[in-house]
């Protein structure tokens, strides 16, 4: 059974940092990628970042470049999203999901190709 569990969200002041974790199990990690998404109330889901275990590549959306860093543990069972210099507009529910391609789906506009979605974690940034 595939399981993805996002955690690490919370309330933080603008300029602060959070590290989100995505615990993954039940699938062949080396053949896939893990992406981070977010969705704010009234807005579309946005693909933020991705790490591909098949080729080692990473992807960052413009909104994440320079502030967010994606990484994984050596066992590839947990993917992290380090978020620095947080802004109120970063407030959203953050999700992790399995991309069966080397981050191609996360980097695109249509996320229906994602294989599995995890539960979300709320991030709230106060001004």
Pairing outcome for strands 10-13 and 121-126: parallel
CA dist 125 and 90 (Å) reads 7
Residue 26 pLDDT > 90: no
* Per-residue pLDDT tens over the stretch 107-119: 998 999 999 999 9
* Per-residue pLDDT tens over the stretch 69-124: 999 998 889 999 999 999 999 999 999 999 999 999 999 989 999 999 999 999 99
Q: Output phi, psi for 49, to 5 deg.
A: -160, 160
Task: From residue 118, give the alpha-carbon distance in Å to each of 14, 37, 49, 86.
Answer: 26, 10, 15, 23
């Amino acid at each position: 059974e595939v399981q993805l569990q996002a955690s690490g969200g919370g309330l933080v002041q603008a300029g602060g940092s959070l590290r989100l974790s995505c615990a993954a199990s039940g699938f062949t990690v080396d053949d896939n990628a893990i992406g981070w998404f977010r969705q704010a109330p009234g807005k579309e889901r946005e693909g933020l970042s991705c790490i591909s275990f098949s080729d080692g590549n990473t992807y960052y959306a413009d909104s994440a470049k320079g502030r967010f860093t994606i990484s994984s543990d050596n066992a590839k069972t947990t993917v992290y999203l380090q978020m620095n210099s947080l802004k109120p507009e970063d407030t959203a529910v953050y999700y992790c999901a399995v991309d069966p391609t080397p981050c191609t789906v996360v980097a695109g506009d249509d996320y229906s190709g994602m294989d599995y979605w995890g539960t979300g974690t709320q991030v709230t940034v106060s001004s």
